[in-house]
Amino acid sequence: MEQRLVELQQEALEGIKKATDLKELNDIRVSYLGKKGPITEVLKGMGKLSAEERPKMGALANEVRDVIAQAIEEKQSILEEEAVAKKLASETIDVTLPGRQVKTGNHHPLTRIIEEIEDLFIGMGYTIAEGPEVESDYYNFEALNLPKGHPARDMQDSFYITEELLLRTHTSPMQARTMEKQNGKGPVKIICPGKVYRRDNDDATHSHQFMQIEGLVVDENIQMSDLKGTLDVFAKKMFGEDREIRLRPSFFPFTEPSVEMDISCKICSGKGCNVCKGTGWIEVLGAGMVHPNVLEMAGYDSKKYTGFAFGIGSERIAMLKYGIDDIRHYYTNDVRFLKQFSIHE
Ligand code: FA5
């Protein structure tokens, strides 16, 4: 029995020495020191020994167990250290590698143009107003001198939600909304940027959803020359002193007289192309003197107060400023197009 215990110790120590990982070492622990292991097996034969030999064998068996347990413990710390070292080596960070480039976004060209226009008008003393995109028939048409059945409603083909609600076809409802809040008193000087919707067929210069910036100035003694001067400053600041501008007489039921402003086409330098439809000009805004009926409906005394208003097409301004040849580029999210407006490269 003594011989067998010494052999088992020898075998276990050999195995421990050869173990290459923690799992293998644990298998050795279970097989030699476990309840069903060979040492326990040997000790079962103790009954056949003499009373003198029995304590000797018990002590030897305990010694063998201790030697094996001690060896396992030592090997375990060696293997653990090795595992940590291996992990550290495999996870080393190579600080000399080039870093990953962080891609920065940039403002959409329309956002840029709108912010530029806002800054320009804020500099002239205007404040910014905002209104709902889902608008009532009253503010979109009736309060603007366009009663139900008025033929001029056809100028702006609309997306109706109910009989009385529609997606606003222009930002002009904000004229009526803003004036109403004033209770007929005091000056108004606002711009209102926002989305508008029309059942227009999409082409190079038309989109079914686009952006407008409404402007409204109401006070005593506001004249057509104030409107003309304002539009002149706007056009010169946006496009430079030498860019050609023209005002054409036009018609809007909510302004009288009414005008439209065209800017010479940048794409063809005025020679005529598919963007300006061969005319050399692109229409960028509608404007006029606020119609007395609109002032009165919003609570203003039209004998005391006058005003002017304008509605700028933001996409067209950006097209003319940046030389963009198709309005649809703004809405198709082609990164190659958008990247050209990055301020980071
Ligand atoms: C209006 O919408 C008037 N509310 C403008 C106005 C305001 C007149 C205040 C008088 C006083 P118009 O439908 O012409 O007008 O549109 C104004 C501008 O929006 C146009 O000059 C053009 O630049 C732009 N625009 C019109 N339709 C489209 C479209 N489908 N896609 C892109 N831009 C458009």
Nearest atom in ligand 1 to the alpha carbon of residue 216 is 9
3-state SS, residue 238: helix
56-111 tens-digit pLDDT: 888 888 888 899 999 999 999 999 999 898 888 888 888 899 988 888 888 999 99
**If phi over 0 gives left and psi between -120 and 50 gives alpha, with beta otherwise, what is residue 58?**
alpha
Calculate how far, in angstroms, residue 243's C-alpha sits from the geometric centre of ligand 1.
21
pLDDT of residue 344: 56
**All structural domains of the chain with their residue ranges:** 2-90, 109-338
Question: Among 121, 115, 306, 93, which Cα is nearest to 211's?
Answer: 115
Q: Binning pLDDT at 50, 70 and 90, where does residue 54 land?
A: confident
CA distance 242 to 223: 26
pLDDT of residue 330: 96
pLDDT of residue 153: 83
- pTM of the predicted structure, to 2 decimals: 0.74
Residue with CA nearest ligand 1 atom 15: 286
pLDDT of residue 4: 84
Summarize the confidence of residues 271-290 as an average pLDDT.
92
CA distance 272 to 131: 37
Summarize the confidence of residues 266-275 as an average pLDDT.
85
Token reading at 219: 């006070």
- Share above pLDDT 90 across residues of the chain, in percent, rounded to a whole number: 61
pLDDT of residue 154: 79
Calculate how far, in angstroms, residue 211's C-alpha sits from the geometric centre of ligand 1.
9
Residue 278 has pLDDT above 70, yes or no: yes
pLDDT of residue 127: 98
Q: Is 227 close to ligand 1, i.e. is its CB under 6 Å away?
A: no
- Other CB atoms within 10 Å distance of the CB of residue 11: 14
Contacts of 177 (CB under 8 A, 6+ apart): 129, 131, 139
Residue 288 and residue 257 in contact, taking contact as beta carbons nearer than 8 Å:
yes
Residue 25 and residue 71 in contact, taking contact as beta carbons nearer than 8 Å:
no
Q: What string of DSSP letters covers 35-67?
A: TTSHHHHHHGGGGGS-TTHHHHHHHHHHHHHHH
CA distance 142 to 132: 16
Residue with CA nearest ligand 1 atom 13: 156
Calculate how far, in angstroms, residue 38's C-alpha sits from the geometric centre of ligand 1.
96
- Share above pLDDT 70 across residues of the chain, in percent, rounded to a whole number: 99
Domain 109-338 has CATH 2.40.50.140: no
Summarize the confidence of residues 221-227 as an average pLDDT.
97
Q: Is 316 close to ligand 1, i.e. is its CB under 6 Å away?
A: yes
pLDDT of residue 45: 80
Q: Is 32 close to ligand 1, i.e. is its CB under 6 Å away?
A: no
Residue 345 has pLDDT above 50, yes or no: no
Q: Is 198 close to ligand 1, i.e. is its CB under 6 Å away?
A: yes
Q: Is 207 close to ligand 1, i.e. is its CB under 6 Å away?
A: yes
CA distance 345 to 342: 6
153-196 tens-digit pLDDT: 877 789 999 999 999 999 999 999 999 999 999 899 999 999 99
Bridge pairing between strands 245-252 and 134-136: unpaired
Question: Among 218, 213, 197, which Cα is nearest to 310's?
Answer: 213
Q: Mean pLDDT across the chain, nearest whole number?
A: 92
Calculate how far, in angstroms, residue 138's C-alpha sits from the geometric centre of ligand 1.
19
Residue 125 has pLDDT above 80, yes or no: yes
Residue 252 has pLDDT above 90, yes or no: yes
**If phi over 0 gives left and psi between -120 and 50 gives alpha, with beta otherwise, what is residue 175?**
alpha
Question: Among 245, 228, 227, which Cα is nearest to 236's?
Answer: 245
CA distance 149 to 57: 116
Residue with CA nearest ligand 1 atom 25: 313
